[in-house]
Amino acid sequence: MKNKNLISSADFVYRMITYNLRIIFANKFIWFLAGSVLFYLGLSVIYVFDNDVTRMSDLYGVFIFSGILLVFYPAVFGIQNDQDSRTIEILFGIPDYRYKVWLVRIVLIFLIAFIIMLGFTYLSSVLIVKFNIFTVSAQVMLPVLFLGMMSFMLSTTIRNGNGTAVVMIIFGLFFLILNDPLRRSMWNVFLNPFRPAYDVSETAWVIITLKNRIFLSVGSVLFLLAALYNLQKREKFM
Amino acid sequence: MMEMKDISDIIFSTGPGNIHRENQEKRITVTYNFRNEISGSKDLLDGARQQIESAVASMSIPSGLAVEVIHEKNQLKDFYYLIGIAFLLIYMILASVFESLATPVVLMFSIPLAALGSLIALILTGNSLLNANTLTGFLILIGIVVNNGIILIDYTNILRKRGNRRQRALMTAGVARLRPILITASTTVIAMVPLAMGKAEFVSVIGSSFAITVVGGLTLSTLLTLVFIPTFYSGLENSIGWFNSLGWRNKTVQIALFALLAFIIYTYINGFLWKMITTILSLIIIPAATWFVMNSLRKARETVIGGEESIKIRVQSLVKIYDRENRWAREWKGGARIRERLGLSHHFRSWSDLMDIAWQAPLLGFTVYFTYFYLRKGLWIFIFSIISWFFLLGIWNCFRELFSNLSGNGSHKLLKKISRWLDVAVFWLVPLVNLAWFQKRWDNIVVVLIIGFLWFTGMFIYWTGRKMSEENIDIYRLEGRFRNIRKTVYRIVAAVPLIGKKKKPFKALRCVSLDIGNGMFGLLGPNGAGKTTLMRIICGILEQSYGKVWINGIDTQLKREELQGLIGYLPQEFGTYENMSAHEYLHYMAMLKKITDPAVREERVTYVLQAVHMDEHRHEKIGSYSGGMKQRMGIAQILLHLPRILVVDEPTAGLDPRERIRFRNLLVELSRERVIIFSTHIIEDISSSCNQVAVLNKGMLRYLGKPIDMTREAEGHVWQFAMPAADFGAFVGENLVVHHMSEGENVRVRVISESSPWEGAVKVSPNLEDAYLWLLRKKENNHRITDTGNGKKQRNEE
């Protein structure tokens, strides 16, 4: 009996993942995936040929932007795609649609992004410079998670994929511009934990990095809750 | 005359310019600063302080000298202590007078507002923020600003004791106490203004910064008191009520979390002010976060209505208005309309009417002086010049109304011309003058151009939006030159929120009331009648504007998420995931509807595919299906897991007659144990399957009752006769012809009419279609449909 339940649950999870991937991977996502891979490969090659000494900390930026490209399309255009295909009204009729449909999809997106990130880091670790792929992947995924959840929340507020994309690009540029002035601040979204600021002691840097990671995690959770709250206001999506 | 060096030896040496003495002993002060990242962390700060102390301790100090290490030299520490005591004393007095622990918190909320006002005023006027002057002013301010809240809340409590509801008491107290609050505040402010306007920061002991603190704090606090204090009073009571309504487990967790946070704040946060701020923030954030999490994570519960209870849906006075204004705009305009109705609103029909706004003239003068002559900082000059411009626009609107009224009857043509020129000048030229003045002050053409571009773009969007609303411009039916460019511009303007084109509200449902029980309930009506709107409101897709929907006594507005487990909805227009096959799509839908067992799911999917005759196409992609097949897919997905309320919006559209009849029969069978709300254009579907039918037209309920009784509505109004074919053309344009058939030179017609439409016309028995057409043909009036108890509805005049 127990085995049967286990098999039944495994089948359920497997099918849920495959069906949602069919929905998420439809249409344009494959282009963003290709773009992310090309971006990673291109930048890595350029970096290797440009620099005499290769450091893992310099590859952090490459990983982050590849990760952002992976989550950008599904997080920003997920709601819009359902609106365009007119499935949104049917989904609203499903009890707890917010969790069963969109929470599952957003979690799946980040899981897929993490797996692909492990692939990228493994390649870099083997071909360029050796490092711990799990540590680096986990560290890279935090700002990606923050920006991805922010995009998702904005997509439920703006309810238009193109509008959300524009706003997220503006925010992204804003955070990028602040990267240097906030180089030793816990509020820096693009803080590189593997490259301490030159004018900060090691102890202080560890504390700053820890606070920064807490800020990114808490922010991600808040964005997710806000998005789930926005998804209750069904009329605005019609 | 002799030189000093001739009569003395001059020795040049260096020494301190000032010698400080304390208790007759010389003293020098050596200061040190930590870097930002050290100050940011308590651990690093403690470590650094210890290093300083050990460095000083290891120094060899000559005898006769004493060294003291002081970590936070704060000359103003005493003031914080005094402010803290003031807070405590005020709280004690207010708590004992109002006999409440919560009310003093509400009243003392004016103090942070006052602090904000003081801060803004000090920044605006370029004074330093923390010195003895400003803190003395703040000490005095604490006692003054709570007066406004006390006046308001005291009277509110009196009114509540007399039996008034909280909202009514607050509004009445606000209206009654506005005058004394404004008088007391303005006398204090005006008395302080001469000292505040002085240029010296210090005039003997106190100076302008003291007066600016009091003026700024009292002004902002008074203005915001009238809005924030009643809101906070009401909100705090709601919050405390909500907190008390929570279970003991929830309360314990929150209190424990607060205690933990308080411990963390005490241990890790340094600085008394930060400790206080973070403690207050924790006190607010923990319940707020609990509420947010509880609301974000509400789940559907099928058990919200017991399995044995039969479902009854009551729709009560439902109104739905699309594109109506938001709540704030509605309340504001509602107040304006009440004033208009009571004849209290200002209208400017003669020059003497301007006396009503005469008080604004000196205020405008002061604003202009303050903005263009007093302020120094660039940012505040910019902000206040915008404020002055809006103020000027407000005054000009009154003058424009006056000029328009004076020149309305054709007289004062010159006034009309002047009015148009002044309109252009105030709206377009004043901003230009402002920009020129910015350039003169700042000498930075780039910034001025950017500001100018943004300002004029905003003005252009507002002006175009207003023009589109007033002239009712239809973007898609433009004519004339540059059609395409104008269309693009109008589309962009219409998309801009707030200042773009105002949407016109449209009433889709007008006070619809009906009761729905078990069985098939048919909704009939032409396109745009409001059937889909009504169904969407029942399903919770849309929110009603007014009215209520009750399901077994449960208000759907309060328990919407929980009730979603009971309702299944098939919309009129829907899509599917076209890259999936029917098999995959239905499996996915079944999993979303909690059919977790794979065998049960497969059986269910097979059953529904057979029910809609799609079994042979199950592995083909949905994208390859025809319209009718996609419609059947929609029906299939709703049959997967049959909830207790099924709402289907024109499900038979696109189906061939055979499929339509099969589906109808299936629904009738299902309706034995559940409520099925079914909308259609096809009369036969209603007559052959529905227990009850409601006819909607233009948002109003025209008929509610049994289909068989509906035919009686048209009794005596259906006529049949033959007429010459030559006259038929003219006749059909003026009468409601149901159908006609040629019979040689004549045409046999069936007509719906109040009275005999043709000589020799014979009354015939109406059928359901005739009754439907008759109901739709009736003129709109304020008739209410009520249940007479015998299954028939009759109209009552209002």
DSSP H or E run through A145: helix A133-158
- Residue B727's pLDDT is what? 83
- Residue B317's pLDDT is what? 93
Q: Which residues contact B136 (CB under 8 A, 6 or more apart)?
A: B79, B206, B210
**CA–CA gap between residue B532 and residue B660 (Å, rounded):** 20
**CA–CA gap between residue B419 and residue A197 (Å, rounded):** 64
Write out residues in chain B with pLDDT < 70, as ranges. Answer: 36-37, 39-43, 71-77, 198-206, 270, 272, 297-304, 306-307, 498-501, 778-798
Judging contacts by C-beta atoms under 8 Å, the chain B residues touching residue A87 are: 574-577
User: How many Å from the N-terminal Cα to the C-terminal Cα in chain A?
Assistant: 45
- Residue B778's pLDDT is what? 56
State both tokens at B236: 């705090």
Residue type, B446: V
A101/B592 CB distance under 8 A: yes
State both tokens at B108: 């003392």
Residue B743, SS3 per DSSP? strand
**CA–CA gap between residue B299 and residue B578 (Å, rounded):** 29
- CA A37-A42-A45 angle, to 5 degrees, is 125
Condensed to tens digits (0 to 9), the pLDDT of residues B749-783 reads 888 888 888 888 888 888 888 888 888 875 543 33
* Domain count for chain A: 1
- Backbone phi and psi for residue B310, each to the nearest 5 degrees, phi listed first: -85, 150
Question: Residues A19, A52: contact at Cβ < 8 Å?
Answer: no
Q: Which of B541, B570, B577 sits opposite A234 (nearest CB)?
A: B541
Please name which of B106, B188, B203 lies closest in space to residue B154, comparing C-alpha atoms: B106
Q: Which residues contact B558 (CB under 8 A, 6 or more apart)?
A: none
- Residue A152's pLDDT is what? 94
Residue A135's domain comprises 2-237
Q: Averaged over A155-178, what is the pLDDT? A: 91
Judging contacts by C-beta atoms under 8 Å, the chain B residues touching residue A232 are: 295-296, 298, 560-561
Judging contacts by C-beta atoms under 8 Å, the chain A residues touching residue B558 are: none
A22/B596 CB distance under 8 A: no
State both tokens at B10: 């001059």
- Residue B164's pLDDT is what? 92
How is B279-332 classified by DSSP, letter by letter? HHHHHHHHHHHHHHHHHHT----GGGS-TTSPP-EEEEEEEEEETPPPHHHHHH
Question: Residues B777, B702: contact at Cβ < 8 Å?
Answer: no
**CA–CA gap between residue A63 and residue A47 (Å, rounded):** 13
Question: Residues B618, B609: contact at Cβ < 8 Å?
Answer: yes
A235/B575 CB distance under 8 A: no
- Residue B37's pLDDT is what? 65
State both tokens at B455: 């300002």
| Confidence check: pLDDT of A166 > 80 | yes
Q: What is the pairing mode between strands B762-763 and B736-743?
A: unpaired
What is the ipTM metric for this complex? 0.87
Please name which of B245, B564, B243, B291 lies closest in space to residue A229, comparing C-alpha atoms: B291
Domains and CATH numbers, chain B: 4-57 (no CATH), 78-245 (1.20.1640.10), 506-711 (3.40.50.300)
| Confidence check: pLDDT of A223 > 90 | yes
Question: Residues B44, B38: contact at Cβ < 8 Å?
Answer: yes
Residue B793 Cα, gap to closest chain A Cα (Å): 32
pTM, full prediction: 0.73
* Alpha-helical regions (H) of B645-753: 657-670, 683-689, 707-710, 725-734
* Alpha-helical regions (H) of B125-165: 132-161
A228/B297 CB distance under 8 A: yes
Judging contacts by C-beta atoms under 8 Å, the chain A residues touching residue B45 are: none
A19/B591 CB distance under 8 A: yes
Q: Which of A4, A13, A15 to mutate to test the interface with B (most CBs of B within 10 A)?
A: A15
A22/B580 CB distance under 8 A: yes
Residue A167 Cα, gap to closest chain B Cα (Å): 15
A238 touches chain B (CB under 8 A): yes
Residue A174 Cα, gap to closest chain B Cα (Å): 19
**CA–CA gap between residue B619 and residue B603 (Å, rounded):** 16
- Residue B656's pLDDT is what? 80
Q: How many CA atoms lie within 13 A of A13 on its CB side?
A: 6
B588/A15 CB distance under 8 A: yes
Question: Residues A64, A140: contact at Cβ < 8 Å?
Answer: yes
| Confidence check: pLDDT of A142 > 90 | yes
A11/B38 CB distance under 8 A: no
- The number of helix segments (H) and strand segments (E) in chain A equals 9, 0
A87/B541 CB distance under 8 A: no
Residue B291 Cα, gap to closest chain A Cα (Å): 11
Q: How far is CA B771 from CA B254, B752, B787, in A?
A: 62, 9, 19
B574/A89 CB distance under 8 A: yes
Condensed to tens digits (0 to 9), the pLDDT of residues A32-68 reads 788 888 888 888 888 777 766 667 777 888 899 889 9
Condensed to tens digits (0 to 9), the pLDDT of residues B151-164 reads 899 999 999 999 99
Q: Quick one: DSSP state of residue B476?
A: G
- CA B370-B371-B372 angle, to 5 degrees, is 100
CA-atom Rg of chain A in angstroms: 19
B565/A95 CB distance under 8 A: yes
Judging contacts by C-beta atoms under 8 Å, the chain A residues touching residue B43 are: 207
- Residue B74's pLDDT is what? 54
